[in-house]
């Protein structure tokens, strides 16, 4: 490749602190800017992204606050949504309900989706935050900031902010890297097969961090937290069972002194069927001497090796096949 061509590739696919390299197997066929090309993000998705495309479309969001709800379904795929940093580009909406109809971000059967540098915020409960430390449920209503359902979905340096049920990691193989997640009750929940790497988890009240829904011993789903940092307001549980075979691993993570001594809650499920484990964790909240007796000891086991390996959520190499962020 000539030096001129190399420069052109760099100029076309570089932005901020990431770029698409020549060696990358994925390619970006189209770029859209907000607000330059479209006034609303949903319009850019509906009108600007080709249906059933196997080529990537990059939608670049200028810094600012966007008040709208975004829906991406299986018709639209291979989308990159890139903001100007999670503190600068905020997608906000105020909604609630047991039957989710609206949230800042809704991925319903969407495949091959990437978001970087955006905060997704549901503002419903934030007027009541002052009371959360005094109530187990804080008078909070379900207020999802993002619903993630689909295959091969990744978030880099994104924020998810709400109170109850912040991040609905519903189903599929997902990666959350260097993200910030804030909530109170079940603020990471669902049946995803997901890795959370280098994420910050901010508890804003006495509640539960996770509620994982694995429903059979054959199901591959679970939440794996690698090098997470948990802090904020407590006391809080690391998780409670949302399904009879719920599975959550915290690995080499740091806990502030906000974790309840028992750590986990089976809430009526058979605790012998649950897989809750803490391996090589540190911090004042990482003392397991008073944890529930059914806490799994995974150190040195094949299950630990499996949960930490690409076989867990990247067995077909989808992460490597996506555009890279550097």
Strands (E), 205-285: 208-212, 222-226, 229-233, 237-241, 247-251, 254-255, 264-265, 275-279
Strand-pair category, 14-15 with 18-19: antiparallel
Closest CA to 304 of 243, 224, 240: 224
Task: Round to whole Å and give the CA distance between 301 and 94.
Answer: 44
CB 143 within 8 A of CB 162: yes
Strands (E), 88-217: 89-93, 105-108, 113-116, 119-122, 146-149, 153-156, 159-161, 167-171, 173-177, 180-183, 188-190, 193-197, 200-204, 208-212
Task: Round to whole Å and give the CA distance between 318 and 127.
Answer: 40
Residues annotated as part of the active site: 165, 186
CB 114 within 8 A of CB 57: no
Task: Round to whole Å and give the CA distance between 248 and 35.
Answer: 40
Cα end-to-end distance, the chain, whole Å = 22
């Amino acid at each position: 490749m000539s030096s001129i061509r190399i420069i052109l590739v760099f100029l076309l696919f570089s932005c901020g602190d990431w770029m698409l390299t020549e060696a990358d197997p994925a390619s970006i066929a189209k770029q859209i800017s907000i607000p330059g090309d479209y006034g609303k993000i949903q319009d850019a998705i509906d009108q600007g992204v080709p249906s059933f495309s196997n080529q990537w479309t990059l939608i670049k969001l200028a810094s600012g606050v966007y008040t709208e709800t975004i829906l991406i379904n299986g018709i639209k795929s291979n989308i990159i949504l890139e903001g100007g940093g999670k503190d600068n580009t905020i997608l906000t909406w105020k909604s609630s309900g047991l039957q989710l109809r609206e949230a800042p971000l809704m991925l319903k059967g969407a495949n091959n989706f990437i978001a970087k540098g955006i905060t997704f915020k549901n503002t419903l409960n934030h007027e009541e935050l002052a009371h959360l430390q005094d109530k187990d449920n804080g008078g909070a209503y379900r207020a999802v900031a993002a619903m993630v359902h689909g295959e091969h979905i990744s978030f880099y340096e994104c924020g998810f902010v709400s109170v109850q049920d912040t991040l609905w990691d519903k189903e599929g193989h997902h990666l959350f890297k260097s993200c910030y997640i804030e909530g109170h009750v079940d603020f990471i929940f669902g049946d995803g097969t997901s890795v959370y790497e280098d994420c910050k988890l901010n508890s804003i009240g006495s509640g539960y961090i996770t509620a994982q829904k694995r429903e059979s011993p054959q199901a591959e789903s679970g939440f794996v937290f690698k090098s997470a940092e948990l802090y904020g307001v407590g006391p809080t549980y690391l998780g409670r069972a949302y399904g009879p075979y719920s599975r959550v691993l915290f690995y080499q993570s740091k806990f502030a002194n906000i974790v309840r001594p028992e750590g986990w809650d089976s809430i009526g499920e058979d605790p012998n069927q649950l897989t809750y484990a803490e391996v090589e964790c540190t911090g004042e909240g990482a003392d397991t001497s008073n944890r529930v007796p059914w806490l799994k000891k995974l150190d040195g086991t094949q299950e630990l090796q499996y949960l930490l390996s690409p076989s867990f959520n990247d067995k077909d190499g989808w992460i490597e096949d996506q555009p890279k962020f550097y």
